[in-house]
Amino acid sequence: MLQEIAEQPEVLRRTIAAERGKVTKLGDFLRQKDIDVIVLVARGSSDNAALFGRYLLEVTTGIPVSLSAPSVFTLYNAKMKLKRALVIGVSQSGEGDDINLVLERAKEAGAFTLGITNEADSTMAKIADETLLIHAGREKSVAATKTYTGQMLHFYMLASAIGDQRLDFHKIPDFADQALELQPKVKHLVERYAFMENCVVVGRGMNYGNSYELALKLMETCYVIAERFSSADFFHGPLAIVERRFPVILFAPAGSTRQSSVDLLNRLHELHADCLTITNDAKISELSSRSLTMPGDIDEFLSPIPFIIPAQLFAAYLSEAKGLDPDAPRSLAKVTKTL
């Protein structure tokens, strides 16, 4: 897992170089179609990447995005009306039966289908009208890292190609390099959390998917019972679980969500919670019990990939600090079958 985390800047560079042209052409084609809705279909970490993609695509293209519930197709056999839909399957292996079944049904219903996968020869690549590849090499760790950020990168390229907003995604690999420099700091920091049994992970907007992803990594590799919320939803009820020293981990970049992070940190301070932030804002860092601080010039829209990297490192090192092996999570297999 640590090795695959470290490979990310190169995977991102390789993926941009290999896929950029294809995505731009695809964008030109999709801009001419009259697309009314984008449906994203995924499970696990890929679903967390899709959760990020949802925000990015809605904000930059204005097209409403639905995160598909595969059971609507697989268990309830719904006949969906998808004539003016773009349906995007996201899967590391490209072998999730339920995801592929949704793509097949969507195609029959007249949707344009797209696959985002790490495996060029996968079933997904055969089904989808077009496939965007992550050039990550085989991912061996059960806990996905490099394919998660590779999937996110494809959403940047796609959003740039479909929408009118220019996204400087070519900067992301360098930001990822900078994020990896936090490695010694994270390794030291995890000692403090060796006996943490549960926590809440919070993110909002562009970093909402990251809160799900870190929570999943903590569950998979550290067996920490990790809840995930947006800072807005957290105020609607779940805040009641917070007591003195309760651990909260917050993705809190400068930008649109900054004020909401500051408000939450102030409230958590009153409740004597223990707050760890991943941030690039001095004030937020100051309001936190501990923080992992990234360079200030990372724009909020480009923050999700560099911000998840210290979080991935945190999960991997915490697993070791707890005497566990992040590459051998109990009860799990790499490809999960669900229908």
Binding site for its own copies (CB under 8 A): 36-37, 39, 43-45, 47, 54-55, 58-59, 62-67, 69-72, 75-76, 78-82, 84-85, 98, 143, 198, 204-205, 208, 216, 219-221, 223-225, 227, 230, 232-233, 235-243, 256-257, 260, 271, 329-332, 336, 338
Closer residue to its own copies, CB minimum distance, 86 or 298: 86
**Which residues make Cβ contacts (< 8 Å) with residue 135, sequence separation at least 6?**
11, 14, 15, 18, 19, 150
- Residue showing tokens 């006996």: 195
Q: Please name the residue ranges forming H helices in the chain.
A: 2-6, 8-32, 44-61, 71-74, 97-108, 123-127, 146-162, 172-180, 183-189, 208-222, 231-234, 258-270, 282-287, 304-321
Burial class (CB in 10 A: 0-12, 13-18, 19+), 317: buried
Closer residue to its own copies, CB minimum distance, 115 or 205: 205
Q: Shortest approach of its own copies to residue 117 CB, angstroms?
A: 16
Q: Shortest approach of its own copies to residue 21 CB, angstroms?
A: 27
Alpha carbons 308 and 292: distance in angstroms, whole number: 11
Q: Shortest approach of its own copies to residue 185 CB, angstroms?
A: 26
Closer residue to its own copies, CB minimum distance, 282 or 332: 332
Closer residue to its own copies, CB minimum distance, 16 or 264: 264
Q: Shortest approach of its own copies to residue 75 CB, angstroms?
A: 4
Alpha carbons 103 and 131: distance in angstroms, whole number: 12
Q: Could you tell me the two tokens for 122?
A: 């996968």
Closer residue to its own copies, CB minimum distance, 121 or 243: 243
Q: Could you tell me the two tokens for 200?
A: 């809440």
Closer residue to its own copies, CB minimum distance, 21 or 197: 197
SS3 letters across 200-227? EEECCHHHHHHHHHHHHHHHHHHCCEEE
Q: How far is CA 71 from CA 76, 99, 325, in A?
A: 6, 10, 33
Q: Shortest approach of its own copies to residue 32 CB, angstroms?
A: 15
Q: Shortest approach of its own copies to residue 106 CB, angstroms?
A: 10
Q: Shortest approach of its own copies to residue 194 CB, angstroms?
A: 17
Q: Shortest approach of its own copies to residue 19 CB, angstroms?
A: 26
- Residue showing tokens 């995924």: 42
Q: Could you tell me the two tokens for 39?
A: 């449906």
Closer residue to its own copies, CB minimum distance, 16 or 158: 158
Alpha carbons 128 and 115: distance in angstroms, whole number: 6
Closer residue to its own copies, CB minimum distance, 74 or 183: 74
